[in-house]
């Protein structure tokens, strides 16, 4: 709730009941006005021509409304007061604790049965929300008792967003195939990696449904990339900096395409928060740094990859027919143990922004 306000010609000072305090620039408040002249409620789009605001713009009057739930501001260029909610002001405060998105990073020992959910549960609104919450918290989730057909993948994908088209098509189905160019089709152990380091917009989610399993081995491996980052940050700042700053190129050459992209293994946003982990030793493209930095880079990826391949950090599980593994490809590294026999899988990718969208709509974060 809003406790107190005062304003000058350039700023509005707001004191909140929980003792937070912030100064909001006048131009920012006017630009964020949600009255009918400045804002289109139906499209959630700004109508105001921000660049055209008068330089003499100022606050004429303010009042706290409904015991601090709202703040009304009468602007010099508007006839009626504009209302700002406590949630809006507090949510945009620079002084509050850093946005904690409540992600709990994990090692193998931390994982529980909570990573599973029955398909039937996900069909209700509440159940679907529960599923999203698990997927968001752990970075992955297994949906059990799905029908062992490609259609199940599509149905689940369409509830979240939509199937992404890529060089592998939209929905895919595969079993070990030595004729394909990609390492994913072999029966050898597939070490933990993220997909599409060669894409500027790597898929946000990957879905993998086990349709048939008549084999030995072939566990699915999940590793929390955010936990690796946390671990390295604690143990060696220099390695952390290298992994956060050196842009590593990845490429995909074959099947009629030549794709290439580059980004740091730990990608940060402008607030220095980790937003994406990308690591794929298979797809790393040729690149060269100055010799001393190059050597440090190899030390850094050695540490990263040894952690990723340590059983302490790995959740391992043999997917049974009807189990669909879904994971956040911007956070979780995936792999697969060596196997002998037949293992048929179906799957697809979903864009990161569509995963974010469904999480926001369901108030997951
Ligand atoms: Fe992969």
58: phi then psi, degrees, rounded to nearest 5: -155, 165
Confidence of residue 9 (pLDDT cuts 50, 70, 90): very high
Whether residue 333 contacts residue 223, with contact meaning beta carbons closer than 8 Å, is answered with yes
On whether both 120 and 85 belong to a single domain, the answer is: no
**283-325 tens-digit pLDDT:** 999 999 999 999 999 999 999 999 999 999 999 999 999 999 9
End residue of a domain, out of 58, 91, 124: 91
Tell me, in angstroms, the distance from the centre of ligand 1 to residue 219's CA. Answer: 14
On whether both 169 and 241 belong to a single domain, the answer is: yes
CATH of the domain at 209: 3.60.130.10
* Cα dihedral sign, 177-180-185-186: positive
Tell me, in angstroms, the distance from the centre of ligand 1 to residue 110's CA. Answer: 24
CATH of the domain at 15: 3.30.2020.30
Strands (DSSP E) found in 39-189:
39-40, 45-46, 59-65, 70-75, 82-85, 116-118, 140-144, 172-174
On whether both 86 and 197 belong to a single domain, the answer is: no
Q: What is the mean pLDDT of residues 7-28?
A: 94
Tell me, in angstroms, the distance from the centre of ligand 1 to residue 242's CA. Answer: 24
What is the pLDDT at residue 228? 98
Tell whether the model's pLDDT for residue 239 goes beyond 90: yes
- Higher pLDDT residue, 50 or 98? 50
Q: How far apart are CA 257 and CA 352, in angstroms?
A: 23
Tell me, in angstroms, the distance from the centre of ligand 1 to residue 184's CA. Answer: 6
248: phi then psi, degrees, rounded to nearest 5: -100, 125
**100-114 tens-digit pLDDT:** 566 889 999 999 999
Strands of the sheet with 82-85, listed across from one edge = 59-65, 70-75, 82-85
End residue of a domain, out of 91, 117, 139: 91
Residue 168: domain span: 98-365
How far, in whole angstroms, is CA 260 from its chain's centroid?
21
In three-state form (DSSP H/G/I as H, E/B as E, the rest C), the secondary structure along 17-66 is: CCCCEEEEEHHHHHHCCCCCCCEECCCCEECCCHHHCCCCCCEEEEEEEH
Tell whether the model's pLDDT for residue 126 goes beyond 90: yes
Tell me, in angstroms, the distance from the centre of ligand 1 to residue 278's CA. Answer: 12
Tell me, in angstroms, the distance from the centre of ligand 1 to residue 195's CA. Answer: 5
The strand pair at 324-328 and 205-217 is best described as antiparallel
**243-296 tens-digit pLDDT:** 999 999 999 999 899 999 999 999 999 989 999 999 999 999 999 999 999 999
Q: How far apart are CA 8 and CA 3, in angstroms?
A: 18
Tell me, in angstroms, the distance from the centre of ligand 1 to residue 327's CA. Answer: 11
On whether both 58 and 32 belong to a single domain, the answer is: yes
Tell me, in angstroms, the distance from the centre of ligand 1 to residue 346's CA. Answer: 13
What is the pLDDT at residue 180? 57
Tell me, in angstroms, the distance from the centre of ligand 1 to residue 340's CA. Answer: 19
Q: What is the mean pLDDT of residues 170-194?
A: 79
**202-211 tens-digit pLDDT:** 999 999 999 9
Residues with CB under 5 A from ligand 1 (ion): 195
Q: How far apart are CA 207 and CA 52, in angstroms?
A: 48
What is the pLDDT at residue 187? 83
Tell me, in angstroms, the distance from the centre of ligand 1 to residue 186's CA. Answer: 11
- In this structure, how many other beta carbons lie within 10 angstroms of the beta carbon of residue 212? 14
**31-85 tens-digit pLDDT:** 999 999 999 999 999 999 999 999 999 999 999 999 999 999 999 999 999 999 9
Tell whether the model's pLDDT for residue 189 goes beyond 80: yes
Q: What is the mean pLDDT of residues 136-154?
A: 97
Residue 284 DSSP SS3: strand
Tell me, in angstroms, the distance from the centre of ligand 1 to residue 108's CA. Answer: 20
On whether both 167 and 33 belong to a single domain, the answer is: no
What is the pLDDT at residue 19? 84
Q: How far apart are CA 301 and CA 282, in angstroms?
A: 13
As for how many domains the chain has, the answer is 2
End residue of a domain, out of 91, 124, 149: 91
């Amino acid at each position: 709730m809003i406790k107190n306000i005062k304003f000058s010609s350039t700023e509005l000072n707001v004191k909140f009941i929980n003792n937070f305090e912030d100064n909001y620039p006048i131009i920012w408040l006017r630009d964020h006005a949600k009255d009918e002249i400045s804002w289109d409620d139906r499209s959630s789009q700004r109508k105001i021509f921000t660049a055209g605001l008068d330089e003499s713009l100022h606050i004429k009057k303010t009042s706290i409304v409904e015991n601090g739930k709202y703040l009304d501001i009468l602007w010099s260029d508007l006839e009626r007061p504009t209302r700002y909610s406590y949630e809006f002001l507090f949510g945009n405060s620079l002084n509050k604790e850093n946005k904690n998105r409540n992600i709990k990073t994990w090692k193998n020992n931390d994982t529980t049965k909570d990573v599973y959910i029955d398909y039937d549960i996900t069909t209700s609104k509440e159940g679907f929300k529960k599923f999203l919450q698990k997927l968001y918290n752990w970075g992955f989730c297994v949906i059990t008792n799905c029908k062992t057909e490609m259609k199940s993948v599509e149905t689940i994908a369409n509830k979240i967003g939509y199937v992404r088209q890529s060089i592998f098509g939209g929905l895919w189905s595969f079993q070990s195939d030595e004729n394909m160019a990609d390492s994913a089709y072999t029966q050898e152990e597939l070490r933990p990696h993220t997909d599409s380091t060669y894409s500027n917009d790597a898929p946000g989610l990957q879905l993998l449904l086990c349709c048939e399993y008549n084999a030995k081995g072939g566990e699915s491996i999940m590793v929390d990339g955010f936990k690796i980052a946390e671990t390295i940050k604690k143990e060696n700042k220099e390695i952390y900096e290298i992994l956060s700053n050196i842009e590593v190129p990845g490429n995909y050459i074959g099947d009629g395409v030549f794709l290439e992209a580059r980004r740091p293994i730990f990608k940060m946003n402008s607030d220095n928060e980790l937003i994406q982990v990308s690591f794929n030793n298979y797809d790393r493209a040729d690149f060269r740094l100055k010799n001393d930095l190059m050597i440090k880079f190899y030390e850094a990826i050695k540490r990263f990859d040894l952690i990723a391949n340590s059983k302490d950090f790995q959740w391992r599980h043999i997917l049974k027919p009807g189990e669909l593994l879904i994971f956040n490809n911007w956070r979780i590294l995936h792999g697969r143990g060596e196997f002998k026999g037949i293992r048929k899988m179906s799957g697809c990718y979903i864009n990161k922004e569509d995963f974010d969208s469904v999480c926001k709509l369901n108030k997951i974060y």
